[in-house]
Amino acid sequence: MAGTGGPPPLRGRPRVEMRQFGPYRIEELIGRGGMGEVYRAFDTEHQRTVALKVLTESLAADRGYRERFRREAHAAARLSEPHVVPIHRYGEFDGRLFLDMRLVRGRDLATVLAEEGPLAPARAVSVVGQVAHALDAAHAEGLVHRDVKPSNVLVCSSSGEPAEDDDEFVYLVDFGIARSVGDDGGTTALTQVGSAVGSFDYMAPERFLERPADARTDVYSLACVLFEALTGRRPFLARDLAPLMWAHLNDTPPPASRLRPGLAAALDDVVARGLAKDPADRWHSAGAMATAARRALAPAGVAPRPGAVPPAPTPVPPSPVPLPGGPRTDPGPPPPVPLAGLPTGGATRAPHGPPPPPGGTGAPGRPRRSVLPAVLLAAAALVAAAVLVVALVAGSGGPAAADPPARPTAGPQHDALLAIVPADFDPSDCRPAPSAGDGDVAAVDCGRAASATGPRTARFFLYPDGEQADAVFTEDVTGLGLPTLENGASCPASQGYQNWTVDDVVMGQVACYVDQTNTAVLIWTETDDATEAVVTIRNGGTAGLAQLVEWWNEAELSGFGA
């Protein structure tokens, strides 16, 4: 009867009438999703109990998908990374595509969160770090998972029972339906049957716009998972497709530390960079994000959990053929990059100073506020509008979908900020930007400076008073780990932050650095005007940083209210 030759039935799952699928004797339904069902089955040819995923008939009927499935399942079967559930074989029986995988007992992360609530920070970072190992291995082989979400993260232990304490090992499952990097075949319409691989709650912005997916697409989804593991809720709570699309394309979720007091604020920055709207602004790899998350725990005295050893040795995959490139490694933070011209103990310049990125790097040390380029947002609006029209025409009888959340709008504080933006920016070109969530009363993106040698992106913030603006700045730069510049150090000769002065009077603070994407970043506050500014030159490096400092020293160009 059912269960012969294998472990006892998993509790809490409905049993199904036993039937045959090729050489597999079906024992129990253990999962169901939009792509098909997963069964516990007994392989009569190899005398072993396996997890058998049988995809929907419509997918096998699509010749392009069927060929891609075979190619990518073969690539996934070559992965020998311990955190990837091994694929024994794959193919087609009776017009249904299938994957035969090792049966691993445990709970998926969605169940863990539903039963236990948010994870301890060290545990959450450990889980995400193990998933990152699986993703980096897949990306090195040219595979994009495209369906990273809690229900595809399996948490188990070396004993085969629910994990306790540090005896926890994590698998990322469903690699067999991943898509190859750069393979756009059959991915041109989210509305096509079977093409919407992945849950909308964790889907990267570019996928809603049907743009190519790459490793950074998985990084975004993993950042969503980290956010949920830390807070117990998804980044965006909209339930209908149109407002959910809008949120992924335009909105910034609240900082995790606001939803869970006591959480290390540095984790907010890690998550925010992972959730950047523009792929170019995200962590370059899942491993880089996981490493940053571990480092973020260190100042709080929290040690990440190591994770258990694999429950069973992973069999050697059949003669893998390495693809060009090899695994990526996290280069770690860039070495200190000199800036030039700001004297020790207080940079000087004629009154006033710099900006952030409307489509690029966000303000360091806080959730990044990057947005997709204007053409991307325009396309998103069209897609969202089309979905709403379809929903209305379909007339399901239920209530109409809610309107998309309003974008940032102008107000009195916005007008006050526009009245004092640095003279090198045209206020009519500035647009309202999302709140930083740290007490700012207005924020604007002003894009590129008029001067050819000025910043390429600029974002300005207005606070209730100068004291709060300076406090936010301090939190930003210390969260980045920037040192105070002293003992003769100056910006841009050294990266870091310091006060800046006019006639020996402290006017605010200024910081400068080059980030891991080689973007030159300059941040400063002006206490009297209660403002903070972030300006960047993407891919500017050391030369770009020196250029920003030179521009900032021209008060008539960069000064608030100048």
- Write the pLDDT tens digit of every residue in 197-235: 447 899 999 998 888 889 999 999 999 999 999 999 999
β-strand pairing of 347-348 with 496-502: parallel
Q: Is the pLDDT of residue 401 over 70?
A: no
Domain end residue (candidates: 60, 78, 102): 102
Q: Is pLDDT larger for residue 395 or for residue 500?
A: 500
Here the CATH number for the domain that contains residue 69 is 3.30.200.20
As to burial, measured by CB atoms within 10 angstroms (0-12 exposed, 13-18 middle, 19+ buried), residue 365 is: buried
Q: Which residues pair with 180 in a beta bridge?
A: 143
Do 64 and 157 fall within a single domain?
Answer: no
Q: Look up residue 350 and give its two tokens.
A: 């004629």
Residue 481, in any domain of the structure: yes
Mean pLDDT of 302-330: 38
Instruction: Tell me the residue length of the chain.
Output: 562
| Whether 561 contacts 533, CB under 8 Å | no
Do 48 and 126 fall within a single domain?
Answer: no
Q: Is the pLDDT of residue 353 over 50?
A: no
pLDDT at 373: 32
Residue 395, in any domain of the structure: no
269 is catalytic: no
User: Highest-confidence range of 169-178, 385-394, 491-500, by mean pLDDT?
Assistant: 491-500
pLDDT at 434: 84
Q: Is the pLDDT of residue 180 over 90?
A: no
Among the listed ranges 359-373, 431-445, 447-461, which one has the minimum average pLDDT value?
359-373
Mean pLDDT of 528-536: 93
| Whether 239 contacts 306, CB under 8 Å | no
Q: Which residues pair with 169 in a beta bridge?
A: 156
Residue 11, in any domain of the structure: no
pLDDT at 95: 86
Helix, strand, coil distribution of the chain in percent, nearest 5? 30, 20, 50
Q: Look up residue 506 and give its two tokens.
A: 């402290």
Do 155 and 58 fall within a single domain?
Answer: no
Among the listed ranges 66-70, 330-334, 446-450, which one has the minimum average pLDDT value?
330-334
Mean pLDDT of 17-41: 83
Among the listed ranges 73-87, 328-342, 477-491, 512-526, which one has the minimum average pLDDT value?
328-342
Do 416 and 523 fall within a single domain?
Answer: yes
In whole angstroms, give the CA distance from residue 267 to residue 355.
24
Which domain, by its residues, includes 141? 107-182+200-300
Q: Is the pLDDT of residue 72 over 70?
A: yes
| Whether 173 contacts 101, CB under 8 Å | yes
Domain end residue (candidates: 67, 86, 102): 102
Do 252 and 213 fall within a single domain?
Answer: yes
Name the active-site residue from 147, 281, 440, 470. Answer: 147
Q: How confident is the model at residue 15 (pLDDT cuts 50, 70, 90)?
A: very low
Residue 237, in any domain of the structure: yes
pLDDT at 412: 80
Do 149 and 277 fall within a single domain?
Answer: yes
Residue 438, in any domain of the structure: yes
Mean pLDDT of 239-243: 84
Q: Look up residue 472 and give its two tokens.
A: 């936010």
Here the CATH number for the domain that contains residue 499 is 3.40.1000
Q: How confident is the model at residue 480 (pLDDT cuts 50, 70, 90)?
A: confident
Do 161 and 229 fall within a single domain?
Answer: yes
Do 64 and 143 fall within a single domain?
Answer: no
Q: Is the pLDDT of residue 322 over 60?
A: no
Residue 66, in any domain of the structure: yes
Q: Name the domain count of the chain.
A: 3
Do 355 and 440 fall within a single domain?
Answer: yes
Residue 221, in any domain of the structure: yes
The CA distances from residue 181 to 68, 99, 144, 231, 395, in Å, are 12, 21, 6, 31, 38
Here the CATH number for the domain that contains residue 115 is 1.10.510.10
Residue 322, in any domain of the structure: no
Do 273 and 355 fall within a single domain?
Answer: no
In whole angstroms, give the CA distance from residue 303 to residue 295.
9
pLDDT digits (tens, 9 = 90+) for 269-297: 999 999 999 999 999 999 999 999 999 98
Do 46 and 156 fall within a single domain?
Answer: no
Do 83 and 127 fall within a single domain?
Answer: no
Domain end residue (candidates: 102, 117, 133): 102
User: Highest-confidence range of 350-354, 358-362, 445-449, by mean pLDDT?
Assistant: 445-449
pTM equals 0.52
